[in-house]
Amino acid sequence: MKGLGIPIILQALGVLIIIAEIILPSAGLLTLLAMAIFGYSIFLVFDTFPSSVGMIFIGADLIVIPLLLYVGLKLLAKSPVTLQTVLSRGKGVSSQSDNLDFYLGKTGTALTALRPAGTARIEKKRVDVVSRGDFIEKGSSILVVEVTGNQIIVANNSNSTASQTNK
């Protein structure tokens, strides 16, 4: 099958351009270029050879191109081009302060309605808090009853003091 060199090279170039689109997003411009190259390659095959050769070419494309893209994406995940930094507590990344235990037993004011989560002012600081499922109205006095990890659990101050004196 003399003369299939150019269509095969165009097909390989199209796959490389698709992989380049994955690495360097171009809003689809590289994908359009790759589709044009694939189309021209198939046009050349159908124009130069019998249609049975063109159909074999299309069948091979339907199998080889997705397979190459799959392998390319898997290799890309292990490539130095991709971001492989893992954010973790061991590397000093944390979403909230580690020392929230000092809030335990402190009182404050609900800045938003707690349904059950919301915001409160405790010790002149605005903090995210959560109740144990109770609705607490905005402006209510609250008491920090528990600190679990980075979660501050509060209760309505009038309810919590009454329940603590009953125990």
Q: pLDDT tens-digit profile of 120-156?
A: 999 999 999 999 988 999 999 999 999 987 889 999 9
CB 85 within 8 Å of CB 47:
no
Residue 1 reports pLDDT greater than 60? no
Residue of 76 and 131 predicted with greater confidence: 131
pLDDT for the residue numbered 89:
61
Q: Domains of the chain, with CATH numbers?
A: 5-77 (no CATH), 94-157 (2.40.50.140)
pLDDT (tens digit per residue) in 79-97: 666 666 666 666 655 565 6
pLDDT for the residue numbered 164:
45
CA separation for the pair 155, 126 (Å, rounded): 16
Helix (H), strand (E), coil (C) string for the chain = CCCCHHHHHHHHHHHHHHHHHHHCCCCCHHHHHHHHHHHHHHHHHHHHCCHHHHHHHHHHHHHHHHHHHHHHHHHHHCCCCCCCCCCCHHHCCCCCCCCCHHHCCCEEEECCCECCEEEEEECCEEEEEEECCCCECCCCEEEEEEEECCEEEEEEHHHHHHHHHHC
The mean pLDDT value of the chain amounts to: 82
Say what percent of the chain tops pLDDT 70. 81
pLDDT (tens digit per residue) in 13-51: 988 888 788 777 788 899 899 999 999 999 999 998 899
The whole model's pTM is what?
A: 0.46
Distances in Å between the Cα of 57 and the Cα atoms of 38, 61, 110, 124 are 11, 6, 69, 72
